[in-house]
Chain A
Amino acid sequence: MSTVESWHGIAAEEVEEIPLAWTGLLRRRTRHLLGSLGAPHRRALIGVATAVLLSNLAATAIPYLVGIGIDIGIPAVRRGDYVPIAAIASAIVACALLQALLYRVFVAGSGRVGQEILLELRERVFAHFQQLSLAFHEHYTTGRMIARLTSDLESINEMFALGLDTLVNAVLSIVGVGVVLLVLDLPLGLVCLSGFVPLWFLTRWYQRESSAAYRNNRTAMARVIVQFTESLRGIRAVHAFRRQARNDEIFGQLSEGYRLSMSRSFKLLGVYWPGIVLIGNLTTAAVLLYGGVRVIDGAMQVGVLASFVLYLRRFFEPLAEVSQFYDSFQAAAAGFEKLAGVLDERPGVPMPAHGAPPPAGGWRGRVDFNNVRFGYRDGIDVLSGFDLHIPAGQTVALLGATGAGKSTVARLLARFYDPLDGEVAIDAVPLTDLAETELHRAVAMVTQESFVFSGTIAENIAFGSPGASQSEIEAAAKAVGLDSFAESLEGGYDSDVGKQGSRLSAGQRQLIALARAFLADPAVLILDEASSSLDAPMERQVQSALATVLSGRTALIIAHRLSTVEIADRVLVLAAGRIVEDGPPGELLAQRSGHYASLYEAWRESLL
């Protein structure tokens, strides 16, 4: 059985967050994140804290009242006076009502704050993921992104759902009870509080160990999610190539990894929690001994000892609960840490918020690549010293062998990546100066992979053009020849395409992607093998639609079928990242021994 690593292969760069030294209770950036999330809720938090404080005061009063009932109420009844005991019982009821009401306010209030924070965090992380570059996402992987936004956030949610009230509640009741204990009887109170010394050391130990354990849990879970999403996305290949057994084995290893990691954090809590219980019990026993002696010596009343023991319960029981809270807190902190790490990631292709304005009179569509160098991996340049100038309105066909770098040129122009050296500009404005909305008013691209979102056909076509009307959508569909198919469906343009377009054929998906780009109507249109899965008549229709759509527009068309070239004003042949031929198609064809001429010849032959 091979290990997880060997099938996985070697990756160039893997973006694993490297844990920095763990300083203080929380790492700086995590603390910063928490602070910024909590700040807007300061007033609500104060209100909630007040509610729980009062609720605890009310709760703490009850055992005290019980003590009074025994020490004062009973002798009064003996004297035939029932008023004190009735008054005390009523006071207990009043406290109970007050406590329940305030507690309810507290639970609702703190829950609301928790959910607001969670929503804010969710949206913030999602927005940040949107801003991060493709280069980042390629290494980070979809699965990890999903893991961050689901299971990591879930761990934080759990803290809010289970933990927060326990913590505040417990801390207050511990402080409250602590004070009462000291007031009731100072020496005995001190005995109780001495339990905090071992508690402190125990907690320090747990903090250190569990934060490492929980960090592991998050990573292990992310691995499970990565494998899960990827194998389900490729389910057709999994079935066709009988990959199930091997996948089960791999998944089994990963989920065993998660189990072991979880098991470690479980075991840690399995020491910490009983440790606290033990400290509490030892203290109780000590109180019993010492308090008994003091009562016998007449230094203390029996009632005081009774309420002492009652209070002790309220003292250590919450402490044990705090240990559970602390556990969910550590889990959440690990989640926070991962999210803070993502939020700390600087976008590799930063878009200015307020970029350069479009040229007066709108975008014309002149494209310049000035001495561009680019490579995906260190040391391997796909393009170097690349120069390309396309006058506004020109339709350029980009040809070349597979892997020559055609898509790379297209991606640089759509600013998926930034060049390592040199610059790409439209109408003399460098792409790096443009805000995102402006950039995409200037350039839009149909990628090689025609992705369709779950939803309706109309929604998908209108994806790039917010506010497009139904008739515009239908016109775009008609232009590419999607109209007859869409209209043949029961729901017409509002038919559901299924999960990521699963109800469409490959060609239909491509037509949607094309219609989407036509409707978006940018100054520069890039088509990266946008008609490769179409049948010939369909392609012809797209060709003629292109001829109209592209008039007066700059276009960069990548295609292997040279029929596309017919509408091009200019042909570029790319080989190993260099332009080896450049000119109008007719001219290039005339050079008998040229690349284009031979490509063209081969293509004509391929038509039979």
Chain B
Amino acid sequence: MTEAEPEQDAGSYRSLWRLRSFVRPYSRQMLFMLACAALAVAASTLIPLVLEAVIDGPIRHGDRAALVPMFLAALGLGLLEAGLIVARRQVQSVAVLKIEREIRDGLYTRLQELPVEFHDRWQTGQLLSRTTTDLGTIRRFLGFGAIFFIVDGLQYIAVMALLIVTYPPLGVISVLTTLPVIFLAKRFGASYSRISRQLQDQQGDLATLTEEAATGMRVVKSFGRGPLMQERFGSSARVLRGSALDMVRLRARFWGWLTLIPNITMAAAVLVGGIAVAHGSLSVGALVAFTTLLVLVQFPIIDLGWILSMAKEAATAADRVCEIFDAPLTVRDRPGAVALPSAKGRLAFEHVGFTFPGTRAAVLRDVNLVIEPGETVAIVGLTGSGKSTLVSLTTRLYDVTAGRITLDGRDIRDLEIESLRRHVAMVFEEPVLFSMSVRENLVLGRSEACDDEIEEALEMAQAGFVRDLPWDLDTRIGEQGLSLSGGQRQRLALARAVVARPSVLVLDDPLSALDVSTEALVEESLARVLPTMTGLLVVHRPSTVALADRVALLQEGTLVAAGTHHELMNRPDYAAVLSVERDTTTTAS
């Protein structure tokens, strides 16, 4: 179900590194956080040294008075550590979350720019999990993982240096016994990457299933197939659990090793250090401080467990995020694209061919059609003949794969998309409404439209029913418009296209859900509106054909005939498509 195969170098930090442009504006804050963290750790590292001083100094000499400055030093260090943590957390709560937000907004913007063809392929759940869960993972890495990786590394080095200075033989032993950590990290790192990518992809799949179960709820309910959906979801959830358990086992093994190593070092220190003290080459105080310092490296080593997993998870999450940023914007403004301030609306298809990406058979072949300003052309054809595909090319939902489409003589790919889409408005065969107010749905294509224009459009589309809604134009429409009847949805979608005041109006089977009398009324008003613009209609019914000046017959992706309805009537294939023969409609009369 996952579209993109994990890259070969999954889990390398390349993608994560690429996200640095989002981090760069906050590099000062990041450095500040790093400094605070490092200083806090240093403060807490110094406290055992105070202990050494206390044991070797005041206690040995029985000097009560000298105890007080030591106490104050420990107190000061303690306050400093807490203060530094506060400072870091306050900065973190702003900077890291801002970075996360910016990546999230960037992803959303990018996703909206990506062509319809991308969205035909990519499941919403996959995209969603990248925008939510994966970004959370990256944020956590930036806020903790990255910082503590550095801090722990520094702490390890500092403590080891101190140990070597305190008593070189013991220091060297400590370094040697902790070095295997590096090999462990290498060994487990690769598995972490593989499993975390798997987990993230499976999370996306599960989100996809959820989305589908929610969107298809009506079908599920009308066949009582909840159990099937449950089973699908369950098996996907179990696959996810399988990977999660792999992760758990991996973590258990790795963490087990990590807790072992510092304790072995401790045993070596006691043995070697104890003997050294007995032989007088080390003071007791130094040995105590030594063991205390060893406890201090215990934490960086154990921390490595979660830092490494965090880093690997963030790396694969960044891979997934970058896959979206890297998806080609196939439909975009060409360099030098121009804005068209106004359009007369002469639309011409010149040898247009189209093949869906990833398929071999062309859906459209050598389509030639010119629609003059003010003219209306109806496209007629059998189910699957390519009508919807043809009309969706006019606003560049897809780009032609052969030939070109021109608006007022200019290739539409040489126009700024924004300006092209301002001139061409569409009504889709399945009306797309959003869960927002009726007004916002209507002015989608032209937010500056005034109330009179909305009124006019509603009138035209016979959508007076909005007046009966509880809050009139301000009523929120349910998700996908499902709180409206099918015909109501369709009329709103039609009104929306009219509000946009386009030069070219493209209607894909816009009246299919209307009853005969409403349809007649809408057709009447459409007949008034259409002459003021260029019209391209996809039509299944003879009545709607009457709106068109000319009709073009599409057969398996090729335009086989164009002309007026009456001219085409003689063609048997045309008559068959529209069923004008009335051969089946005779029982009642």
Contacts and interface: CB of A to CB of B under 8 A. Distances in A.
Interface string A234-261: 1111111111101110011001101100
B385 to A, nearest CB: 8
A281 B45 CA distance: 12
A56 B67 CA distance: 33
Interface stretch (B17-25, B225-233, B370-378): B225-233
B463 to A, nearest CB: 10
A607 B580 contact: yes
Q: Which 7 A-B pairs have the closest CB atoms?
A: A281-B78, A402-B487, A9-B437, A270-B89, A111-B248, A536-B579, A440-B224
Interface in B416-458: 418, 421-422, 424-426, 428-430, 432-440, 444-445, 447
B64 A293 contact: yes
Interface stretch (A30-38, A131-139, A174-182, A202-210): A131-139
A540 B85 contact: no
Contacts of B580: 607-608
26 contacts: A89-B270, A104-B256, A111-B249, A115-B248, A236-B397, A240-B445, A242-B418, A244-B112, A248-B108, A251-B105, A251-B108, A285-B74, A288-B51, A288-B70, A377-B470, A400-B515, A407-B486, A439-B224, A516-B219, A533-B383, A533-B512, A537-B579, A560-B514, A563-B579, A599-B515, A607-B543
Interface string B537-551: 000111101100000
Interface string B506-543: 00010011111111100000000000000000001111
Interface stretch (A305-313, A366-374, A470-478): A305-313
A428 interface: no
Contacts of A235: 112, 116, 119
A271 B87 CA distance: 10
A532 B512 contact: yes
Contact of A310 (B59, B292, B422, B587): B292
Contact of A606 (B68, B90, B275, B542): B542
A399 interface: yes
Contacts of B403: none
Nearest to B84: A274
B567 interface: no
B191 interface: no
B120 interface: yes
B150 interface: no
B514 A447 contact: no
Given A89-B271, A273-B89, A150 B210 contact: yes
A293 B582 CA distance: 110
A353 interface: no
A394 interface: no
B224 A436 contact: yes
Given A317-B299, A463-B228, A566 B238 contact: no
Contacts of A309: 48, 51, 292
Contact of B509 (A116, A380, A533): A533
B585 interface: yes
Interface in A293-315: 293, 295-296, 302, 305-306, 309-310, 313-314
A550 interface: no
Given A70-B284, A82-B275, A141-B479, A130 B229 contact: yes
Contacts of B301: none
Contacts of A508: 383-384
B218 A416 contact: yes
Interface string A58-70: 0100110110011
B577 interface: yes
Interface in B197-248: 203, 206-208, 210-226, 228-230, 233-234, 237-238, 240-241, 244-245, 247-248
A123 B239 CA distance: 13
Interface in B147-178: none
A235 to B, nearest CB: 5
A440 B223 contact: yes
A281 B47 CA distance: 9
Contacts of B122: 499
B485 A407 contact: yes
Interface string A478-516: 000000010000000000001110111111100101001
A533 B395 CA distance: 22
B476 interface: yes
Contacts of A446: 222
B341 interface: no
Contact of B221 (A70, A134, A561, A585): A134
A537 B382 contact: yes
